[in-house]
Structure 1
């Protein structure tokens, strides 16, 4: 393997009063970039809280991510398929996004809907996430759609991902990335994935895994992955976004773990976050009291 790229999605940062924290957004991007990412993505389909953002906030989030990324390419997710996606794409492009990540819709007209986004002129990544969109395509169908649109990459978030990734891999003109909080990272790599877009509040440890895969040292990569797994499984649970934001708060990158929708985490989970972060060697500057 000559290349394995890490292009994580970062969450959307808010103050305690649920207003955008644009300095926090930039800090998320800067910390992720410094950890060894090759690109930084914002407004993830399941992690960017894009449904809670007002139209004018979209550009602010992208611009703050660009500011923090320090010259790395920045991708912008476009949320679930729907009539407002083209306007959102225009706002993201105007704010400085380098590429757009578009969820694959169902139906025979999928190519037509995505074609409007592709016509904006920015590179497009397709995002296949059946659990979030209800659209489930096979690898051959995704490959055909990718070729039709001239998409640069496909982000596969179906479990297990192996068969779909394997059907897409091998084309030098198309990157294939995994996601799903990196829970299936070894299987994705074994199937031919060329990177991961999984978000992670300890990106420096995920980068270690990616670096070892890039060096084609799969035994060392597996060892590093197993060391990180206790954190990944906590971050990937049903309150995963809240866990990830609380972790970023405990690490001193965010001032607040606020989400716009959803109940706050309880103290038991916050203590577990401190324990698991320390277990994987993360710098915890603001541990939860009593942990």
Structure 2
């Protein structure tokens, strides 16, 4: 099993959950999706996130999907599993189950019920009690959770959480926040943890890397975009990183539309052969004929620009 610790870097791709056209969990397509992602160079996989329709799965389906991903991965990359829950019994049960299956760690976001710094910090004190020695990622995603975590409260959580090894930074705008947290680690005010970014499918990825992020933890139907941008930036070729990012940006932006974004991503992954069906469980969006025309235009333009870049 791959270690999941504070040295994590690269691209941990947030995966979708494949279903059949009839809405059943598609484990055969899950194998295809895992291979598709790993072949494109991702460092790790993160499953059962918000874009993974985790809330639409039964507990048994969540375990079955996790088991399939881990078996297919066969130790090639680490697997992080989202276990966020308003109740600690459910969080603890799912954590124990996925770690027994071979997951490398888990990810937790705060529930919408916590508001003040003390409430947020107190909640994560209970997360620590629930997870014990399991390495975990703190997900800061206020657009989805409605919970605003200041740099001060994140640093407070990190100081109180010896097994929190990563921050998934998804605040938007959040460059100054990311820089402040990284600077605190560099100054020794708090232990240094991995920071992977998830803003809108990587919509600010080059800038986030320049502010000290170690990579990305988000989703996009072209995971090679994030892999190549992170690699170019890591070797010091910042202009190349920006050029590559710019080529993908129009389609990445289109994929991040509120409401319809998951349908766009699943359509594109189906179009690329990564999953057998673009089915989304209810409640979920559907693409119009004009949406599909937009997507085809953007794909053509992206292909042309990538050829120009070589």
TM score, norm. by length of structure 2: 0.84
Which consecutive unaligned segments of at least 5 residues does structure 2 have? 1-6, 186-190, 305-310
Task: Provide the C-alpha distance between the structure 2 equivalents of 1:279 and 1:79, rounded to a whole number of angstroms.
Answer: 38
What is the match of residue 214 of structure 1? Answer: 234
Unpaired runs of 5+ in structure 1? 283-291
> 1:256-271 to 2 correspondence within 5 Å?
256-261=277-282, 262-271=284-293
Could you say if the C-alpha distance between residues 40 and 21 of structure 1 is closer, same or farther in structure 2, counting changes exceeding 3 Å? same
The match for 2:267 is 246
Deviation of 1:22 (Å): 1.1
User: Residue 167 of structure 2 aligns with which residue?
Assistant: 154
Asked whether the equivalents of residues 206 and 229 of structure 2 are also in contact (C-alpha less than 8 Å), the reply is no
Match of 1:101 in 2: 107
1:69 aligns with 2:73: yes
Q: Is the 8 A contact 2:182 2:192 kept in 1?
A: no
The TM-score with structure 1 as length reference comes to: 0.89
Indicate if the aligned counterparts of 2:95 and 2:131 stay in contact, CA closer than 8 A: no
1:152-191 pair list within 5 angstroms: 152-170=165-183, 171=185, 173-180=192-199, 181-191=201-211
Among 202, 211, 215, which residue is 1:195 paired with?
A: 215
Question: 1:174 and 1:3 mapped to 2: Cα distance?
Answer: 9
Distance, in Å, in 1 between the alignment partners of 2:134 and 2:24 is 29
Secondary structure of 2:108's counterpart equals: strand
Number of residues of Structure 1 aligned to a counterpart in Structure 2: 279
Residue in structure 2 matched with residue 233 of structure 1 by the alignment: 253
Contact 2:8/2:194 (<8 A) preserved: no
Q: CA RMSD in A?
A: 2.0
* 3-state secondary structure, aligned to 2:143: helix
Q: Which residue of 2 aligns with 1:255?
A: 276
For the structure 1 residues 7 and 117, does the alpha-carbon distance in structure 2 shift closer, same or farther, using more than 3 Å as the test?
farther
**Partner-residue secondary structure (3-state), 1:7:** strand
Aligned partners of 2:130 and 2:203: how far apart in 1?
30
Match of 2:300 in 1: 278
Q: Structure 2 vs 1, CA of residues 55 and 195 (structure 1 numbering), >3 Å: closer, same or farther?
A: same
Among residues 131, 136, 143, which one is paired with 1:118 in the alignment?
Answer: 131
Verify the 8 A CA contact 2:17 2:53 in the aligned structure 1: yes
User: Shift of residue 94 of structure 1?
Assistant: 2.6
Partner-residue secondary structure (3-state), 2:303? coil
Counterpart-to-counterpart distance in 2, 1:278 and 1:258: 24
Partner of 1:47: 51
Q: Relative to structure 2, which stretch is displaced further, 63-72 or 225-234?
A: 63-72
Give 1 or 2: higher helix fraction: 2
Residue 272 and residue 123 in structure 1: after superposition, are their counterparts in 2 closer, same or farther (change >3 A)? same
